[in-house]
Amino acid sequence: MATEPTALPGQPGQTMQLRDIVLDFRTRSGFGQDKVFRALDGVSLDIAPGQIVGLVGESGSGKTTLGKTMLGVHRPTSGAIHYRGTDLAAAAPSAWKPFRRDLQMVFQDPLSSFNPRFTLGSSLALPLALHAVVPKKQIPDEVASLLTRVGLTPDHAKRYPHELSGGQLQRVAIARAISVRPRFIVADEAVSKLDVSVRAQVLNLLKRMNRETGVGLVFITHDLGVARFLCDRIAVMYFGRIVEEGPTEAIFEEPKHPYTLSLLRARQHDRAPVASDADEAGLAIPDPAKACHYAPRCARRLPRCLVERPRLGEPPHAFACFNPVPAAAAAPAPAVMKA
């Protein structure tokens, strides 16, 4: 029972708009100077209420970092995060406070996101009490019903995090995120530890929730089949940048960026070498900051790619590439094994 109406899609000002987000991590090198690592390099993205946006791309490309930045876990070095009339990027951490309930995250590593000394029941009860989602007396029932919705049993409430399998804990994390009826959920590899049959159940649940309550989802996944099933739009990341972004079908049917194409191709388990990976050796790039990040590995590289950085083009189907894949070359790849 909600004590507050859930968000409905399409309300103006409620789209989260990321503009030119740069995020540098500083690490101590031990000898005086700090090293800087640019994890996000000018990322812009809109997440409208009710939409499911998939974030796919290379491991280490910044997907988790981007997700955490959207929720105020990391503070961007520069750029803007417009949400409900505020620029959260520039504001003090306390500016996030009114939106804490609105914005929930399912972390990639569920074990470290639970307090090991609390039973899972207490971990689920805490946000319910904090945000007064249901009257106090109903909390145990609500916890039981949440666990059932993600395919667990009320009995699991008595267990501690390390007493669950990887996939079971991942589902408790999903239950916790949906429990406070947020407006947006960033779900980081939220179904990757589940067998296909439980995965189907959880994906159906997320889709149904999205359709019924209008919750917006940023769905980080490396599973393109899952992304295709669930997402309305997909953004492909490579080395701190979005290199392609568009409606799901367009990404699958007409990938434009050579990296997207090679990701799609790699799903065909044909054991052929990955064709688009060019020879990296012996490339002279005068200034890597001004070149296309993908150039060293790109099979479609032009001389221009080594000296100029391609900008992400215009929506609805945007891509950052000087020599995009022609339509005919991108015969769609099956996302999942044929029977």
Partner 1 sequence: MNASPPLLEVMNLRTSFAVGQRRVKAVRGVSFTIGDEEVLGLIGESGSGKTVTGMSLLRLLPDHAAIEADAIRFRGDELTAHDEESFRKLRGVQLAMIFQDPVGSFNPAKTIGWHLEHAILRRSETDGKAWRAEAESLLQDVGIRAPERVLSSYPHQLSGGMLQRALIAMVIALRPALIIADEPTTNLDNLVERQILELIRVHQRRLKASVLFVTHDLAIAEDICDRIAVMYAGEIVEIGPADAVLRNPQHPYAACLLQTSISLAQRQEYLFELAGEPGGKIPDEGCAFAGRCPKVMPQCRTIHPDMRAVGPDHQARCLLHGD
Ligand X SMILES: Nc1ncnc2c1ncn2[C@@H]1O[C@H](COP(=O)(O)OP(=O)(O)OP(=O)(O)O)[C@@H](O)[C@H]1O
> Where along the sequence are the contacts to Mg ion (CB under 5 A)?
64, 108, 165-166
Q: What is the 3-state secondary structure (H, E, C) of the chain?
A: CCCCCCCCCCCCCCCEEEEEEEEEEEEECCCCCEEEEEEEEEEEEEECCCCEEEEEECCCCCHHHHHHHHCCCCCCCEEEEEECCEECCCCCHHHHHHHCCCEEEECCCHHHHCCCCCCHHHHHHHHHHHCCCCCHHHHHHHHHHHHHHCCCCHHHHHCCHHHCCHHHHHHHHHHHHHHCCCCEEEEECCCCCCCHHHHHHHHHHHHHHHHHHCCEEEEECCCHHHHHHHCCEEEEEECCEEEEEEEHHHHHHCCCCHHHHHHHHHCCCCCCCCCCCCCCCCCCCCCHHHCCCCHHHCCCCCHHHHCCCCCCCCCCCEECCCCCCCHHHCCCCCCCCCC
d(CA 86, CA 99) in angstroms, rounded, equals: 11
The residue (of 7 and 263) whose beta carbon lies closer to ligand X is 263
Q: Which does 224 bind (CB under 5 to 8 A by kind): Mg ion, ligand X, partner 1, none?
A: partner 1
Q: Whose Cβ is closer to partner 1: residue 82's or residue 193's?
A: 193
Choose the one of Mg ion, ligand SF4, ligand X, none that binds residue 197, judging by a C-beta under 5 to 8 angstroms depending on kind.
Answer: none
Rounded to an integer, what distance in angstroms lies between the CA atom of residue 308 and that of residue 65?
A: 26
Which residues make beta-bridge pairs with 35?
Answer: 27
Listed ranges 123-131, 165-173, 273-281, 293-301: which one lies at the site for ligand X (CB under 6 A):
165-173
Q: Does 109 bind partner 1 (CB under 8 A)?
A: yes
Q: Which of residues 265-304 bind partner 1 (CB under 8 A)?
A: 266-267, 269, 271, 274, 277
> 51 vs 168, which CB is nearer to ligand X?
168
Nearer to Mg ion, 7 or 106 (CB): 106
Q: Are 58 and 65 in contact (CB under 8 A)?
A: no
Q: Which does 45 bind (CB under 5 to 8 A by kind): Mg ion, ligand SF4, ligand X, none?
A: none
Q: Name the binder of 323 from ligand SF4, partner 1, Mg ion, none, CB < 5-8 A by kind.
A: ligand SF4
Under the binding rule (CB under 8 A), the answer on residue 332 touching partner 1 is no
Binding residues for ligand X, total number by CB under 6 A: 20
Structural tokens at position 135 = 């009257």
Q: Is 149 in the site for partner 1 (CB under 8 A)?
A: no
Radius of gyration of the chain (CA): 21
159 part of the interface to partner 1, by CB under 8 A = yes
User: How far apart are CB 332 and partner 1 at their closest, in Å?
Assistant: 11
Q: Which of 292, 312, 318, 330 binds ligand SF4 (CB under 6 A)?
A: 292
Q: At its nearest, how many Å lie between partner 1 and the CB of residue 125?
A: 18
Q: What angle (nearest 5°) sits at the alpha carbon of residue 82, between those of residues 76 and 86?
A: 105
| Given 29, 33, 59, 197, the residue binding ligand X (CB under 6 A) | 59
Beta carbon nearer to Mg ion, 103 or 143: 103
Beta pairing class for 216-220 and 52-57: parallel
Q: Using CB under 8 A as the criterion, what x/- string covers residues 179-198 for binding partner 1? A: ----------x--xxxxxxx
Asked if 117 touches partner 1 (CB under 8 A), the answer is no
Please, what is the minimum distance in Å from the beta carbon of residue 165 to partner 1?
4
Report whether 231 contacts 248 (CB < 8 A).
yes
Instruction: List residues near ligand SF4 by CB under 6 A.
Output: 257-258, 292, 294-295, 298, 300-302, 305, 310, 321-323
Q: In the complex, which residues of this chain contact partner 1 (CB under 8 A)?
A: 25, 27, 29, 37, 56-60, 63-65, 108-109, 111-112, 148, 151-153, 156, 158-159, 162-168, 171, 189, 192-201, 203-204, 207-208, 222, 224-226, 228-229, 262-263, 266-267, 269, 271, 274, 277, 334-339
